[in-house]
Amino acid sequence: MIGTYVLFLSSEKNMDIDIGNLGRFHFPKGIYAYIGSAMGRAVSLENRIKRHQKLAKEKKGNKKWHIDYFTTSSGVEITGVVKIIGKNIECRVAELMKKSGGKLVAQGFGSSDCKCNTHFFSVTQEIADVFLRNLPDVF
Whether the pLDDT of residue 139 is over 80: the answer is no
User: For residue 41, what pLDDT is reported?
Assistant: 81
Average confidence (pLDDT) over 25-53? 94
Q: Is residue 67 part of a domain?
A: yes
Q: Is residue 139 part of a domain?
A: no
Q: Is residue 115 part of a domain?
A: yes
Q: Is residue 35 part of a domain?
A: yes
pLDDT digits (tens, 9 = 90+) for 10-30: 999 999 999 999 999 999 999
Q: Is residue 34 part of a domain?
A: yes
Work out how many domains the chain is built from and give that number: 1
Exposed (0-12), middle (13-18) or buried (19+): which is 133, by Cβ within 10 Å?
exposed
User: For residue 131, what pLDDT is reported?
Assistant: 97
Whether the pLDDT of residue 42 is over 90: the answer is no
Average confidence (pLDDT) over 75-94? 95
pLDDT digits (tens, 9 = 90+) for 60-83: 999 999 999 999 999 999 999 999
Q: What 3-state class would DSSP assign to 112?
A: coil
Give me the domain span that covers residue 123. Answer: 3-134
DSSP sequence for 12-52? SS-EEEEEGGGEEEEE-SEEEEEEEEE-STT--HHHHHHHH
Q: Is residue 108 part of a domain?
A: yes
Q: Is residue 106 part of a domain?
A: yes
Structure pTM?
Answer: 0.95
Whether the pLDDT of residue 89 is over 90: the answer is yes
pLDDT, mean over the chain: 95
User: For residue 113, what pLDDT is reported?
Assistant: 86
User: For residue 138, what pLDDT is reported?
Assistant: 79
Q: Give the CA distances from residue 120 to residues 69, 87, 104, 109, in Å, rounded to whole numbers and listed in that order.
A: 12, 19, 7, 6
